[in-house]
């Protein structure tokens, strides 16, 4: 299934039957990826007295309740409402879902006990390319990211300067394989979030940050089309399923 997309006066061809899924699925398991000091997600059948809504338990249907936190339990996409007093919904602010994107790989720099991603690193990886979306893969990149328990581990993060650079370069959608673009414990400063969404000026309402993705090593750095699929939750963040398409 070949599609032709025209953007910036250029035409690109992609095969819609060859999606590269870079999301982490959510499972009711202690091995589910987890952050922010939350218990594992729960997926369990509804119970009404002795009746259990599970075919395996004799019911006619499977009818599950799901309890989870989008920020903690898997791939999620968030809008500026994540850090504003006023409520803003990602479902209301993200209205376009296909973007020309660049996959880059960065090895976070070390300073004392911290690992971070600097402006210089992103600048080198992107060069003079202008993209609507940037997918940032960190190394080492192993399958452990699929079930990593991030709480109290001080994961790598973006420096404020890196977020400012991405904003000034016109990147509207940042995707990263970490639980946050900010340091786990920063006293509530959230410098990278604030810089990317420009909360000190004209807020970028249509810009999003997607965290806890996983980009397999088989996906090479380079230019792709991104289909950023979200669940229609009226919330600051929602589970999402970003998929990439190679350009023919």
Question: Is the C-alpha dihedral spanning 66, 19, 204, 103 positive or negative?
Answer: positive
Mean pLDDT across the stretch 112-119? Answer: 97
What pTM was computed for the model? Answer: 0.97
pLDDT at position 92, please?
98
Confidence of residue 132 (pLDDT cuts 50, 70, 90): very high
- Does the pLDDT at position 196 exceed 90? yes
DSSP β-ladder status, 173-176 and 133-138: parallel
Bridge-partner residues for 211, per DSSP?
Answer: 76
Q: Which of 206, 178, 208, 214 is nearest to 193 (CA)?
A: 208
pLDDT at position 209, please?
99
Torsion angle defined by CA atoms of residues 87, 91, 94 and 96, in that order, rounded to the nearest 10 degrees: -160
pLDDT at position 8, please?
86
**Percent of the chain surpassing pLDDT 90:** 99
Q: Which of 211, 123, 221 is nearest to 169 (CA)?
A: 123
The span from the CA of 82 to the CA of 193, in Å, is 9
- Does the pLDDT at position 221 exceed 90? yes
The span from the CA of 221 to the CA of 248, in Å, is 15
Mean pLDDT across the stretch 44-70? Answer: 97
Mean pLDDT across the stretch 89-105? Answer: 98
DSSP labels, 46-106: -EETTEES-GGGT-SS--EEEE--TTTSS-EEE-GGGS-SS---HHHH----EEEEEEEEE
pLDDT at position 137, please?
98
Q: Using one digit for the tens of pLDDT, what is the confidence trace for 2-21?
A: 999 999 889 999 999 999 99
Backbone phi, then psi, for 126, in 5-degree steps?
A: -85, -30
The span from the CA of 207 to the CA of 198, in Å, is 10
Q: Using one digit for the tens of pLDDT, what is the confidence trace for 79-93?
A: 999 999 999 999 999
Averaged pLDDT score across all residues of the chain: 97
Mean pLDDT across the stretch 202-209? Answer: 98
Q: Using one digit for the tens of pLDDT, what is the confidence trace for 161-192?
A: 999 999 999 999 999 999 999 999 999 999 99
**CA distances in angstroms from 31 to 37, 44, 143, listed in the order given:** 14, 16, 12
Q: b/e map of 30-67 (b: 16 or more CB within 10 Å)?
A: eebbbbeeeebbeeebeeeeeebbbeeeeeeeeeeeee
CB 153 within 8 A of CB 144: no
Peptide bond into 140 cis (omega under 30): yes
């Amino acid at each position: 299934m070949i599609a032709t997309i025209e953007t910036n006066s250029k035409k690109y061809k992609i095969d819609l039957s060859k999606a590269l899924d870079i999301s982490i699925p959510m499972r009711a398991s202690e091995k589910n990826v987890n952050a922010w000091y939350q218990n594992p997600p729960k997926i369990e059948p509804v119970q009404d007295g002795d009746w259990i809504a599970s075919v395996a338990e004799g019911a006619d249907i499977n009818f599950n309740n799901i309890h989870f936190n989008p920020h903690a339990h898997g791939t999620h996409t968030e809008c500026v409402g994540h850090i504003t007093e006023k409520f803003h919904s990602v479902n209301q602010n993200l209205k376009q879902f296909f973007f020309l994107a660049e996959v880059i790989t960065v090895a976070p720099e070390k300073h004392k006990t911290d690992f971070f991603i600097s402006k210089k690193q992103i600048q080198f990886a992107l060069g003079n390319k202008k993209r609507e979306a940037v997918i940032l893969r960190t190394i080492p990149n192993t399958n452990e990211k699929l079930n990593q328990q991030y709480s109290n581990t001080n994961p790598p993060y973006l420096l404020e300067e890196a977020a400012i650079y991405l904003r000034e370069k016109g990147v509207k959608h940042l995707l990263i394989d970490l639980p946050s673009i900010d340091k786990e414990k920063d006293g509530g400063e959230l410098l990278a979030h604030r810089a990317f969404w420009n909360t000190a000026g004209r807020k970028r309402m249509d810009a999003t940050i997607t965290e806890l993705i996983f980009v397999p090593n088989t996906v090479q750095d380079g230019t792709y089309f991104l289909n950023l699929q979200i669940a229609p939750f009226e919330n600051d963040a929602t589970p999402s399923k970003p998929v990439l398409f190679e350009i023919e």
